[in-house]
Amino acid sequence: MKVNLPKNSPTRLKLALSQSCGTVGLFCLASFLWSSIANAQSGAATNKPSDIVDFFKKSINSPQDIEHIVFREQILGRPAMPPAQLAVLAAHGISINTIPPPQFFEGAWAGDNFFISAFVNSNDVPKALEPGPLQIDVISRQITGRAGTNSYQVGMGELRTTTEGDSETHYNKPAGESQSYYVFFSQVVHMGIGGLKDRTVVWVGNEFTAERDGYSPIHGQLIISNNLPSVLKIGGTNTTDPFELFRYVYPDPPDSLGGYPKTITRFMLVNAEKQPAVEYDILQNQLAQHPLAEQNFAAARFVTTNIAFTNVYSKGVSYTESGGKVKKNIPPELRTMNANLTQRSRILIIICFAIVTLTFVFFSFRSGRTRKSKTNQNK
């Protein structure tokens, strides 16, 4: 039933005021939401490139943990070498001008912990990064990695492992090979620069200084184009002339590889001329949402029933574990000595042995005759 209220009644005025405030409130809420969406879209368009630049600088210093990365390496050129060295290589059938085919790599990274596996068939590149632990076929491929103090290679029926480092006094194969792959891998995660000491990079604007393992400190200058890292020039700290240069190409959108460029090209600068050296194409990249624990890189996650031999290296000696038995292996230097014993060497050894034997027989016979002669004289 409809009730007609007087025009100036207090109840009617309250209803009118309530309806008016509701309409204004809805209008204000809609305006606020529209403004927020517009500002977010505008901010995304302007802030994303600057975030990429900030991410680039942080990655040069200390890269974020990478849960899964797939990239391709293509050698573009060989460094200039003296004619004498070229002649030695040519004598062994090695041509420095021969460019090898591209090679693919798959792995993960977290500070000093890592693992990586190489393959040459582009068909083995994953179609998409699957969630969950990374699985690699250890029957046809080898994985090199490090988890804490444990360095290892696992795959193709063998596990090589050690908790010691490689040193000048004791060659340690799994430790040496793991360190070589670590240095190689670090070039990609550090935006192309290899051998950087983590947390030694100091940025001032778009320039930085950093320490490098085994080399003098370096100075870098970043050139930004379209609000994205474009070129990085690297030189010594005491000179303004760079000796190498990196060029970056980003995907669309720029953050689709977690902030990494899709292509990193390294050039060597010789007499102010750019000589292309190597190119890395990052095909897939998945950054870790949280710091990756050491066990994510342990060899145990890749060891299967297809591992027939386990070689443990310690103090220059390797021990093979197979079928519940442990055998001490011959050191490499002794194997080399045995291999160098040619047929001529063996003949010389036999001759020397024969001479020693004949000499012993001769003096024994002569000594016997002397004693017999003295006996006859006494009679």
Q: What is the DSSP string of 128-172?
A: SPPSSS----TTT--EEEEETTEEEEEETTEEEEESS---SSS--
The pLDDT tens digits of the residues spanning 307-326 come to: 888 999 888 788 887 777 77
Decide: helix, strand or coil at residue 23. helix
Give Cβ neighbours of residue 219 (< 8 Å, ≥ 6 apart): 207, 208, 209, 234, 235, 236, 237
Mean pLDDT of the chain, nearest integer: 77
**Per-residue pLDDT tens digits for 101-123:** 999 999 999 999 999 999 988 88
Nearest to 206 by CA among 229, 226, 189, 187: 229
Q: Report residue 130's pLDDT band, with 50, 70 and 90 as the boundaries.
A: low
Q: Which residue has the higher pLDDT, 271 or 319?
A: 319
- For residue 178, give both structure tokens: 């793991």
Query: Hey, is 336 helix, strand or coil?
Result: helix
* % of the chain residues with pLDDT over 70: 66
Sequence-ordered list of residues with C-beta below 8 angstroms from that of 182, at least 6 positions apart, any chain: 112, 114, 146
Q: How many CB atoms lie within 10 A of CB 247?
A: 19
Say what the pLDDT of residue 335 is: 45
Residue for token pair 């899964």: 68
Query: Which pLDDT score, from 0 to 100, does residue 334 have?
Result: 43
pLDDT at residue 337, as a whole number: 40
Helix (H, G, I), strand (E, B) or coil at 305: coil
Q: Which of 59-73, 114-128, 362-376 has the lowest mean pLDDT?
A: 362-376
Sole residue written with tokens 């890269």: 63
Alpha helices by DSSP H, the chain: 10-61, 83-91, 173-189, 332-339, 343-378
- AA letter at 371: R
User: Tokens standing for 320?
Assistant: 């093979």
Please say whether the beta carbons of 255 and 52 come within 8 A.
yes
The percent of the chain in helix, strand and coil, each rounded to the nearest 5, is: 35, 30, 35
The pLDDT score that the predictor gives to residue 237 is: 80
Q: Mark 192-211 as b/e (b = at least 16 C-beta within 10 Å).
A: bbeebeeeebebeeeebebb
pLDDT band at 30 (very low <50, low <70, confident <90, very high): very low
Choose between 52 and 370: higher pLDDT. 52
Please, are residues 113 and 186 in contact by the beta-carbon 8 Å criterion? no
> What is the structure's pLDDT at 134?
64
220 strand-pairing partners: 208, 234
The Cα angle at residue 124 between residues 123 and 129, in degrees rounded to 5:
115
- Please, what's the b/e burial string for 4-37 (b: 16 or more CB within 10 A of its CB; e: otherwise)? eeeeeeeeeeeeeeeeeeeeeeeeeeeeeeeeee
Residue 266 token pair: 């390294």
Q: With a cut of 80, say whether residue 278 has pLDDT above it.
A: yes
